[in-house]
Amino acid sequence: MNEVDVRTVSLWILVGLLFVLHFVLHIGLSYGRGAPDLLTLGLLIAARETSLGRASVLGLTTGLLEDAMSVLAFGANSIAMTIVAAGGAITRDLFVGDSRHFLPAYVFMGKWTRDLVHWITMGREVRQPFVEQVVLQGAVGSLYVAGIALGMSWLLGAWGDV
Amino acid sequence: MPFYGSEPESGSPGRDLTLTAFVLLFAFGTVYLPSTTQERISSALQVSALRPFIAMQGLLTDVGARRVRVEALQVTVDSLSAAMSTHQAVADENETLRDLLELQERAGATYRPATIHRPGTPGSESTFLVDVGTRDGIRAGAPVVSPTGLVGVIRETRTANSSGIDWTHPDFRPSAMLADGSAYGLIESRRGSFREEDRLVINGIPFHEPFDSGQAVLTSGLGGIFPRGIPIGTVLGVAEAEGTWRKAYYLEPIAEPAAATHVLVLVSDSGDDASQVWAQDTVGVIAPGGDNR
């Protein structure tokens, strides 16, 4: 395997680990909002590695997994994750992403978009006020995931330099 | 440098767009699926992809519940331990009281049962209070005994209670003898560097009088204070010798003052000989290192 192949395989392993860790933290350990949304982070990373169609399928799959635990708003996560995955794949044609600042900004915007779409599609009866759920909780959650992406980027970048 | 690749794979744009549109349509469609279908999809995912995580949650819940149960069991064990420790103290006290009852039956009405209280204040070492006084027939100088032997003597009496000293007090000086009456001496307490080092000594023993280790020492009845025959202790060894005419011997006390809580106090109309009271159960079995409770 050449260097590109190794990098791609490592990245998909990382995405898989993020997915598993997300469900371990949210379902297995029941950390709830205290745990970061690693599913969206993994999806955003994966979306830039694959084609638009495959990214959408991955988004739908992860969204359905989230919806499986959501009784009152089934489908909202599927829509949000599919849109985010498709959007993430499209950014590949718009941004090269060489800058160190790109990844946190990309993850922050992706996560916030996911929360916004989720809030819109989940239904009036279930959702909280826009300011509370999207502006406040969404911004904090997005910063949280962006911070993790930044740390991960630094760690893996440093690891790659060795 | 970003950790994702810069050259992702890409399929046919038209096919990708079609697939994406289809997936989006499906995603929007999930919202409008009948609730039974939604539940079926949820259940299928919960028992397949999400099963390990749900199982982990169940496991952790069980562990938490077990931890609570363990804590509850620990509390129960602690309570039982506390009850058992109290039970042991009660059992010991019960045994002492039974011994006292047996002793009193043998001694007749000449002894009054009493409970010892220790003031515990500075300077009150070696002294105690008993809850019997002159109205019970108690007089100053009355011996205080436990089921094993002599504990001390009453010094002051009041109507309802009395105060006394135990054998560790320097003023405790009963006349004593060997169990067979072959030699006589005077008991005295010698203070050590610390209280646990206090020793009981029988003094004024003729130099050539043979004293063997382990021999029982009893009150002699001389002096009219203590009746004859109350066990005091056993001979341990020579404490000192003066010239060729006098020796003193260390004794192993038979009664432990600190452990004495219930005692008998001699009343004024008792006789001069108590040797029959202890002769069968204590004096006969006195041995070095024996139970001196």
ipTM: 0.89
Which residues, 6+ apart, have CB-to-CB distance to A75 below 8 Å? A67, A121, B27, B28, B29, B30, B31, B32, B33, B38
- Better pLDDT: B78 or B6: B78
Q: Mark yes or no for CB contact B1/A98 under 8 Å.
A: yes
Structure tokens at B123: 């300077």
Residue ranges per domain, chain B? 13-49, 110-283
Residue ranges per domain, chain A? 43-156
CA nearest B45 in A: which residue?
A68
Q: Is the pLDDT of residue B153 over 60?
A: yes
d(CA B109, CA B33): 99
Q: Is the pLDDT of residue B44 over 60?
A: yes
Using one digit for the tens of pLDDT, what is the confidence trace for A45-100?
999 989 999 999 999 999 999 998 887 788 999 999 999 999 999 998 888 777 77
Which residues of chain B neighbour A65 with C-beta distances below 8 Å? 45, 49-50
Structure tokens at B177: 């003898």
CA nearest B6 in A: which residue?
A96
Alpha-carbon Rg for chain B, nearest whole angstrom, is 41
Which residues of chain B neighbour A52 with C-beta distances below 8 Å? 13, 16-17, 19-20
Considering only CB atoms, B3 lies closest to which of A23, A92, A160, namely A160
Which residues, 6+ apart, have CB-to-CB distance to B172 below 8 Å? B152, B153, B165, B166, B187, B188, B189
What confidence score (pLDDT) does residue B289 get?
Answer: 40
Q: Mark yes or no for CB contact A157/B28 under 8 Å.
A: no
User: Which residues in B have their CB inside 8 Å of a CB on A?
Assistant: 1-11, 13, 15-20, 23-24, 26-33, 38, 41-42, 45-46, 49-50, 52-54, 56-57, 60
| Residue at token pair 């001699």 | B266
Q: Mark yes or no for CB contact B1/A121 under 8 Å.
A: no
What confidence score (pLDDT) does residue B84 get?
Answer: 85
pLDDT band at B1 (very low <50, low <70, confident <90, very high): very low
Using one digit for the tens of pLDDT, what is the confidence trace for B255-287?
888 778 888 888 865 556 777 777 555 554 444
Distances (CA, A) of B17 to A23, A56, A86, B179: 30, 10, 10, 117
pLDDT band at B288 (very low <50, low <70, confident <90, very high): very low
Distances (CA, A) of B2 to A103, A104, A156: 7, 10, 9
Q: What is the CATH number of domain B110-283?
A: 2.40.10.350
What confidence score (pLDDT) does residue B140 get?
Answer: 87
Count how many pairs of residues, chain A against chain B, have C-beta atoms within 8 Å. 147
Which residues of chain B neighbour A24 with C-beta distances below 8 Å? 53, 56
Q: Is the pLDDT of residue A159 over 80?
A: no
Q: Mark yes or no for CB contact B11/A54 under 8 Å.
A: yes
Q: What is the pTM of this model?
A: 0.54
Q: Strands B184-190 and B199-206: what pairing?
A: antiparallel
Using one digit for the tens of pLDDT, what is the confidence trace for B125-152?
788 888 888 888 888 888 898 888 889 9
